[in-house]
Amino acid sequence: MTTTKTRDRLRIAIQKSGRMADVSQDLLARCGLKFRQSRDKLFCFGESMPIDLLLVRDDDIPGLIAQGVADLGIVGRNVLAEQTLAARANGEAAPGVELRPLNTSRCRLSIAVPQEMEYENPQQLQGLRIATSYPALLGDWLARNGVEAKVVFLAGSVEIAPRLGTADLICDLVSSGATLAANQLKEAVVLLDSEAVIAGPEEVPLDERGELRELLLRRIDGVIQVRESKLVMLHAARGAIETIRAILPNAQTPTLLPIEGSPDQVALQAVCYGAVTWTHLEDMKRAGASQLLVLPVEKILA
Ligand code: PRP
Ligand code: ZN
């Protein structure tokens, strides 16, 4: 693959397989993008818009952005932060910046210690061996806490290092915590809260790709907003509306409509940008609402 200085098609790098692969494909599909997958399955041609996909290892995504091979990438904040720190340590420019958090694929980069160890403070880690795939982030944390420990780099299966005797503790991603529990380890310190993000160069490309990038980011904003949004509909007496409005979670200004044959009753509809729980509904019912309906929202263009 060659990199040209100007291109009229935008390229997005996403994870080929793994946790974020489905999340990334799903997000782009919701943005209205359709792709034809090539035979080698590394490149997908965009059919609905001039936006193509590169299917790669997540660890390669920041580098592809840095080289200008990809214009955007969907990657874990953990990978982006690690490679940004590493680049800085080598006197190089950051490979890309976080353009949008995607509020999905959440995990933590944490130091985990053997279950029998009582962790109280960073100084306890002095002189110990810590296995990790994140040497830059770990090294940075150790330096900030004035701890001298030996960082043992492992590309994968970090959690078995203490059992194998190659390290005393680990610094790895934790999501459900099942991997730690299965290896008799427990989370001691969170170094970074991570989630999937859209990354790209800080500078917007000056050719057609610039506009495509802005258009896609706006659609992504809409998709994220819609994910948790609900349309709430209900009937209530005019006098109860103020109390009910105060209960609606993160609602935009509601629409009030008259109800045929019931002059003192109105129908209310409002989009809520957040979860609408059973408790919210019960509170509204107590405040005088009836005929409560909560509907999923499919698209928002404000
Ligand atoms: C991560 C991490 C742990 C596991 C933690 O690996 O390295 O092994 O997830 O998840 P849990 O707390 O839900 O058990 P991942 O599956 O991303 O694979 P990788 O290490 O090969 O990147
Ligand atoms: Zn990985």
Per residue in 100-141, pLDDT tens? 999 899 999 999 999 999 999 999 999 999 999 999 999 999
* Distance set, CA 291 to CA 244, 264, 274, 282, 294 (Å): 13, 15, 21, 12, 10
**Pairing between β-strand 97-101 and β-strand 196-200 as defined by DSSP bridges:** antiparallel
Q: Residue 17: CB within 6 Å of ligand 1? A: no
Q: What spacing in Å lies between the alpha carbon of 163 and ligand 1's midpoint?
A: 17
* Residues forming a β-bridge with 232: 270, 294
Q: What is the residue extent of each domain of the chain?
A: 10-105+196-226, 107-194, 228-296
CATH superfamily of 10-105+196-226: Periplasmic binding protein-like II (3.40.190.10)
Please tell me the pTM assigned to this model.
Answer: 0.83
The confidence score (pLDDT) of residue 2 equals 46
Helix, strand or coil for residue 224? Answer: helix
Q: What spacing in Å lies between the alpha carbon of 59 and ligand 2's midpoint?
A: 6
The residue contributing the CA closest to ligand 1 atom 8 is 179
* DSSP percent split of the chain into helix, strand, coil, nearest 5: 35, 35, 35
List phi, psi (to 5°) of 169: -150, 180
The confidence score (pLDDT) of residue 226 equals 87
Which residue type sits at 221? D
Question: Under 8 Å CB-to-CB from 45, ≥6 apart: which residues?
Answer: 35, 36, 38, 52
Q: Residue 160: CB within 6 Å of ligand 1? A: no
Q: Residue 155: CB within 6 Å of ligand 1? A: no
Helix, strand or coil for residue 190? Answer: strand
The confidence score (pLDDT) of residue 129 equals 98
The residue contributing the CA closest to ligand 1 atom 1 is 173
Per residue in 57-116, pLDDT tens? 999 999 999 999 999 999 999 999 999 999 999 999 999 999 999 989 999 999 999 999
Name the CATH architecture for the domain at 107-194: 3-Layer(aba) Sandwich (3.40)
- The correct CATH number of 228-296 out of 3.40.430.10, 3.40.50.620, 3.40.50.1460, 3.30.70.120 is 3.30.70.120
Would you place residue 39 in the very low, low, confident or very high pLDDT band (cuts 50, 70, 90)? Answer: low
| Nearest-angstrom CA–CA distance, 102 and 72 | 14
| Nearest-angstrom CA–CA distance, 194 and 149 | 24
Q: Residue 176: CB within 6 Å of ligand 1? A: yes
Q: Which residue has the tokens 């000056």?
A: 206
Q: Residue 156: CB within 6 Å of ligand 1? A: yes
Judge if 107-194 and 228-296 fold alike in CATH terms: no
